[in-house]
Amino acid sequence: MNIYHNHHIIPGHAGGTDEPSNLIRLTIEEHAEAHKKLYEEHGRWQDRLAWKSLSGIINKSEAVYLSQVEGGKTQQRLNPTHSAGGKALWAKPGMRKHLSKKRKEQSANGKNPMQGKKQRRISCICCRKEWAINSYAVHINKM
């Protein structure tokens, strides 16, 4: 028994609509292949993510994480003042020292928001190597 998906010929992230003329029924394998072709043709991260998740190359949690990472990059491109503001803040003389002192005070008072937190780790489904979350996106993008 085949499972079918409705595939947007022009994806929603590229301005496509839910009109019947923009939808086609595909099997999961055909749907993955369609997104692979769209990614190869247009280079959009959303199509790459859809292709890899539909074909089982990445699992759901990896897809969610990567969409958050890529979505964040998109937000920075749309509103570069956020990243520029952060860089300007850290560039201020004495800011690193001030924040370090503040974190030490929070730790001494037992109010450090990072106290007891562990860095999340995940395993790559391709090479089985374990990665910290923040470095995993770099690894996936090189694949």
pLDDT at 42: 92
Query: Which residues 6+ apart lie within 8 Å of 107 measured at CB?
Result: 115
Q: Which helix (H) or strand (E) holds 5?
A: strand 4-8
Question: Residue 10 — very low, low, confident or very high, per pLDDT cuts 50/70/90?
Answer: very high
Instruction: Please report where in the chains the tokens 């109010």 appear, as a residue.
Output: 111
Mean pLDDT is highest, among 25-29, 63-67, 109-113, for 25-29
**Looking at 6-15, 57-66, 111-120, which range is the least confident one?**
111-120
pLDDT at 127: 60
Rounded Cα distance, 83 and 75, in Å: 10
Reading phi first (left if > 0) and then psi (alpha if -120 to 50, else beta), residue 68 is in alpha
Question: Per residue in 47-74, pLDDT tens?
Answer: 999 999 999 999 888 888 888 877 766 5
* Span 70-79, average pLDDT: 61
